[in-house]
């Protein structure tokens, strides 16, 4: 990661710590773990809270064309930088709670969603709104890949039940700072 990206991240953290929700940008090991199941066949891909683009780089390295990726970023500075760094991706400079009202992002539903949003620091109603939007745009067979710093699903149990979702921890990035856990969240089958 470039030094300028680290400084952008730290400035955003100081400006609004509740929105950033991490002490450092995601590392390469976490990026590798959270995108391990992503394939070009799942395109298009939606990413929530891409920040400096570390996870986006990993999605592209998995073979997903940049123009088949949509990035939802609420921080205007990060959104501007992402537009320069990933010029063919769709940059949605918005809060992820607005996904439910957003018309189709692509001509087809997305096959996977990768999320760097700090769900643990959000109220349940906001998490519920984000997930309703995610599953509105996701194929029925698709999944949301969410990381968290605690070894439990970051989505409250009541929200999981209300939306008919199930989760499974699929990996851990032990060398990330801090260590992180990756969860796959799907509609119950």
Domain spanning 3-187, CATH architecture: 3-Layer(aba) Sandwich (3.40)
Q: Could you give the CA distance from residue 184 to residue 1 in angstroms, rounded to a whole number?
A: 26
Q: Counting Cβ atoms within 10 Å, is residue 19 exposed (0-12), middle (13-18) or buried (19+)?
A: middle
pLDDT tens by residue, 34-49: 999 999 999 999 999 9
Q: Could you give the CA distance from residue 73 to residue 79 in angstroms, rounded to a whole number?
A: 6
At 76 the pLDDT is: 95
> Which residues of the chain, if any, have pLDDT below 70?
1-26
At 189 the pLDDT is: 84
- The structure tokens 């760097």 sit at 116
pLDDT tens by residue, 101-120: 999 999 999 999 999 999 99
Closest residue by Cα to residue 128 from 148, 107, 99, 152: 99
Q: Could you give the CA distance from residue 153 to residue 155 in angstroms, rounded to a whole number?
A: 6
At 15 the pLDDT is: 53
Number of neighbours of residue 135 by Cβ within 10 angstroms: 22
Please report, for the chain, the start and end positions of each structural domain, with discontinuous segments joined by +: 3-187
Kindly provide the residue ranges of all beta strands, DSSP E only, lying in 65-150, ordered along the sequence. 69-72, 90-92, 110-115, 138-148
At 3 the pLDDT is: 47
């Amino acid at each position: 990661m470039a030094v300028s990206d680290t400084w952008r991240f730290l400035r955003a953290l100081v400006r609004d710590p509740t929105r950033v929700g991490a002490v450092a940008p995601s590392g390469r090991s976490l990026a590798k773990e959270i995108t391990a199941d992503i394939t070009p066949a799942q395109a298009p891909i939606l990413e929530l809270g891409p920040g400096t683009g570390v996870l986006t780089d990993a999605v592209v390295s998995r073979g997903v064309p940049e123009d088949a990726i949509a990035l939802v970023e609420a921080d205007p500075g990060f959104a501007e930088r992402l537009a320069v760094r990933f010029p063919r991706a769709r940059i949605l400079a918005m809060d992820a709670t607005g996904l439910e009202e957003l018309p189709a992002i692509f001509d087809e539903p997305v096959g996977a969603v990768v999320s760097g949003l700090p769900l643990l620091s959000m109220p349940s109603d906001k998490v519920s709104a984000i997930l309703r939007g995610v599953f509105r745009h996701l194929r029925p067979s698709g999944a949301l890949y969410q990381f968290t710093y605690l070894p439990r699903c970051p989505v409250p149990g009541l929200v999981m039940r209300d939306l008919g979702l199930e989760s499974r921890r699929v990996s851990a990035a032990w060398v990330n700072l801090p260590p992180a856990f990756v969860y796959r969240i799907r509609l119950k089958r």
